[in-house]
Amino acid sequence: MGPLQTAQSRAFQFSGRIRSFRYAIAGIVRMIRCQRNAWIHAIATVGVIAEGCFFHLSPSEWCWLVLAISTVWTAEALNTAFEYLADAASPNFHPIVRDAKDVAAGGRCSSQRSPRR
């Protein structure tokens, strides 16, 4: 592989990465627009970050907070993607799809639990 081919493949890979980020951002925007729970998570995220600033959290506390926030958002995104796929696979009501959606929603809810102190 010559220097020109290497530069071209890097440029192609870089543009592919840019496209991937565009698709990811479009997915996040779609989730926030279409899912009521995402709005709730967004409001809660802003509130929790504001409270963290107010209470002057330590760096390690911020790390735990960011981990918790990202876990909840990841679970919400996976649940939303699963619901879209289930709806595409079975547009009509099917009890197995209902059960699968319920399990996915339960997984999302379990990611939001905080341990008692």
Tens of pLDDT along 45-69? 999 999 999 999 999 999 999 999 9
Q: Residue 40 is which amino acid?
A: I
User: pLDDT tier at 15 (50, 70, 90 boundaries)?
Assistant: confident
End-to-end CA distance of the chain: 59
Cα maximum dimension of the chain: 61
pTM (predicted TM-score): 0.75
Domain ranges of the chain: 57-117
Local structure of residue 106 (DSSP, 8 states): H
